[in-house]
């Protein structure tokens, strides 16, 4: 991440929310690798309920 991109995002979010944003990227980046490798089927009718 360039200094400019970091400064822009960090300026908007601050330390806590910026770190949480990175945690989301981290979580879904890694999860996508697992899902692609396991080649599992999309659930026919069930959806994630936040």
Partner 1 sequence: MTRIAYRRPEDMTPQARELTLERGNLNVYRTLANAGKVFTGWMLAGRAALTSPVLPFRLREIVILRTAHLMGCPYELGQHNDVARTAGLGKQEINAITSESDWQTVGFNPVELAVLQLTTELLTTRNVSAAVFDQVHKALGSEATVEVLMVINRYSGLALMLNALDVDLDDTARLPTIPQ
State the nearest-atom distance from the C-beta of 38 to partner 1, in Å: 7
- Name which of 2 and 49 has its Cβ closer to partner 1: 2
Pull the structure tokens for residue 3. Answer: 């200094």
Instruction: Give residues in contact with partner 1 (CB under 8 A).
Output: 1, 6, 10, 15-16, 18-20, 22-23, 25-27, 29-34, 36-39
State the nearest-atom distance from the C-beta of 1 to partner 1, in Å: 4
| DSSP sequence for 1-50 | --HHHHHHHHHHHHHHHHHHHHHHHHHHHHHHHHHHHHTPPPPSS-----
């Amino acid at each position: 991440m360039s200094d400019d991109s970091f400064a822009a995002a960090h300026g908007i979010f601050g330390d806590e929310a910026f770190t949480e944003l990175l945690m989301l990227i981290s979580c879904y980046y890694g999860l996508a690798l697992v899902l692609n490798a396991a080649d599992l089927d999309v659930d026919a009718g069930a959806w994630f309920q936040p």
